[in-house]
Amino acid sequence: MSISRLYLKLFLAFVAVLIAADAIVFSIVLSNEMPPPMIRNLVEKAELGAMLIQREMEGKETSPQSIKRTLTPLLKLLGKGFNAHIWLTDDAKNLIVSNFEGTPPEVDGELSPVTLEGTSVKLFAIHTNSYRRIYIEMPMVLRNQPPLTTHVLMGKRQRKEEVWFFKGLLLLTALSALFIIPVSRRITRPILQLSEAADRLGKGDFSQRVPEKGKDEVAVLARKFNRMANHLEEMVKSGKELTAHVSHELRSPLARMRISLQLIMERDTTSAKDTLDRQVAKIENEIENMDAIIGHLLAFSKLDLREPPPRTDSIDVAQCFQHKIDQFDTMIEQKALTVTTSLEGIPGYVCNAHAISVVLENLLGNAIKYTAPNGTMSARVALHDGNIEINLSNSHAPLSKKDLVDMFTPFQRLDKGREAGTGLGLAATKKIVEKHGGTIQATYESGCVCMNITLPYSY
């Protein structure tokens, strides 16, 4: 199993932080800024010994000879229990009493003061390479006696506490480094999935998606990757569909042109001129039809291939709709259609004015085309719940639910063969509406086909 560079960087960075933290803790402990727990224990023992000494001397003579005679047994007992040398000196540092024979022991090694909160004793640590000793000085006042000083020199102790602490810290570091392995893999796994999905996407597999878990930066990247993959898949799918539909749509006029050309080539010298002119006119009509199909096809394909049009225009949808109705006035009169309108003025809608104009023109053109003579049409624009609602209905024969959905599919036409068209108008209308953040759907109600558009007013 290969190890990714990102995973290795995370692991090494975490280990480096742990090592730096260990080094800081080591330096604090060794500098006595954080005394081991056993030091406070030793100080408490020394304070207990001082209290026992004072209690032993209560009501007794305080001359040096009396102090020595009274305290020697107690000091020997305390020294044995504490494993320490204990002695008392006067203010001139003369030895008064001790639990050992001879002069006080020399303090060898490095003598460094230790600060311990909650006590007034003077505390020193004696460090050597192999052991640690604690030296304590405590003031003592006896009745009718100048101040004395109690000295306690604890026995040599192996540096077991520090060794144990350092070993524990190193063990904790090692365990933390082991635990970071699954954590690092959990962090790097989504990135590796993104990398693999991007690689497969680049090879043509547009179905690749990655999980979108959480709200961190990796999850945001995953969501953006999936949106990009969706857009690419839609573009490729639309391209394939367009290729299939175009090949079908262009084949019909080409076949008709081929028949007309054959008739012209097979004519004899006695053929009437009007027959030739009629065949040539048919060819010209087919060429114009093909040119229109190609023009609509190019306009429709651009809706997929480019970014949404900039929405920098501010229009009144009702006025724009009324203007389009006026443009179709001649066609409406030719078919003797009855048109009713209920257009609520909604100024300030920010959009791409040209794109919305295309939407309204496509809706009206289709409605007029598929409405029988003497039929009815109804147009409505209103503001509802912060959305602009555009409704256009026209009388029509009943349509199935499948027809109402398929009419938005490229190259799908109702009454194919009876009405001219490319079948791209409503498909383009749907894409424009969606790029403006809206929705469009067709329904059949009370003998009318109803086109319903909803656009967010504050989009």
Q: What are phi and psi for residue 95, nearest 5 degrees?
A: -70, 130
- Tell me how crowded residue 123 is: count the other CB atoms within 10 A of its CB: 23
Residue 445 has pLDDT above 70, yes or no: yes
Residue 175 has pLDDT above 50, yes or no: yes
Residue 187 has pLDDT above 80, yes or no: no
Tens digits of residue pLDDT in 265-283: 666 545 566 666 666 776 7
Q: Residues 448, 393: contact at Cβ < 8 Å? A: yes
CA 385, 390, 395: angle at the middle one, nearest 5? 135
Classify domain 206-305 at the CATH class level: mainly alpha
CA 115, 121, 123: angle at the middle one, nearest 5? 50
pLDDT band at 299 (very low <50, low <70, confident <90, very high): low
Residue 354, pLDDT score: 83
Rounded to whole angstroms, what are the CA distances from 314 to 148, 317, 358, 457? 97, 9, 16, 11
pLDDT band at 450 (very low <50, low <70, confident <90, very high): very high
3-state helix, strand, coil in the chain (%, to 5): 55, 20, 30
Sign (positive/negative) of CA torsion 190, 191, 196, 199?
Answer: positive
Mean pLDDT, all residues of the chain: 77
| Tokens representing residue 142 in the block | 């006896």
pLDDT cut 70: percent of the chain above it:
68
Residue 296 has pLDDT above 60, yes or no: no
Residue 14, pLDDT score: 72
CATH architecture, range 309-456: 2-Layer Sandwich (3.30)
CA 149, 150, 156: angle at the middle one, nearest 5? 140
Residue 305, pLDDT score: 47
The amino acid that residue 50 corresponds to is: A
Lowest mean pLDDT among 47-51, 394-398, 415-419: 415-419
The amino acid that residue 357 corresponds to is: S
- Tell me how crowded residue 259 is: count the other CB atoms within 10 A of its CB: 13
The amino acid that residue 5 corresponds to is: R
Residue 116 has pLDDT above 70, yes or no: no
For the whole model, what pTM was predicted? 0.43
Q: Which distant-in-sequence residues (6+ apart) come within 8 Å of 81 by Cβ?
A: none
Domain(s) of CATH 1.10.287.130: residues in the chain: 206-305
Tens digits of residue pLDDT in 394-413: 999 998 888 888 888 776 66
Q: Look at the chain and count its residues.
A: 459
pLDDT band at 390 (very low <50, low <70, confident <90, very high): very high
Q: Which distant-in-sequence residues (6+ apart) come within 8 Å of 355 by Cβ?
A: 309, 432, 435, 436
As a whole number of angstroms, the distance between CA 379 and CA 391 comes to 6
Q: Which distant-in-sequence residues (6+ apart) come within 8 Å of 260 by Cβ?
A: 279, 280, 282, 283, 286
pLDDT band at 1 (very low <50, low <70, confident <90, very high): very low
Lowest mean pLDDT among 120-129, 343-352, 359-368: 120-129
More confident: 88 or 272 = 88
Q: Which distant-in-sequence residues (6+ apart) come within 8 Å of 154 by Cβ?
A: 42, 82, 83, 84, 133, 134, 135, 136
Residue 94, pLDDT score: 87
Residue 212, pLDDT score: 79
Q: CB-side exposure of 116: number of CA atoms within 13 Å? A: 22
More confident: 204 or 118 = 204
Buried b (16+ CB within 10 A) or exposed e, 270-296: eeeeeeeeebeebbeebeebbeebeeb
Rounded to whole angstroms, what are the CA distances from 107 to 46, 116, 124? 18, 21, 11
State the distance between the two ends of the chain, measured CA to CA, in whole angstroms.
50
pLDDT, average across residues 61-74: 84
Buried b (16+ CB within 10 A) or exposed e, 65-82: eebeebbeebbeebbeeb
What sections of 203-352 are H helices per DSSP? 217-265, 273-305, 317-327, 329-334
CA 325, 329, 332: angle at the middle one, nearest 5? 100
Residue 341, pLDDT score: 92
As a whole number of angstroms, the distance between CA 442 and CA 406 comes to 10
Residue 417 has pLDDT above 50, yes or no: no
CATH architecture, range 34-158: 2-Layer Sandwich (3.30)
Tens digits of residue pLDDT in 316-357: 999 999 988 988 888 898 899 999 999 988 888 888 888 888
Closest CA to 255 of 279, 286, 280, 277: 286
3-class secondary-structure state, position 393: strand
3-class secondary-structure state, position 214: coil
Q: What are phi and psi for residue 175, nearest 5 degrees?
A: -65, -40
Residue 144 has pLDDT above 90, yes or no: no
Residue 381, pLDDT score: 93
As a whole number of angstroms, the distance between CA 337 and CA 374 comes to 5
Domain(s) of CATH 3.30.450.20: residues in the chain: 34-158
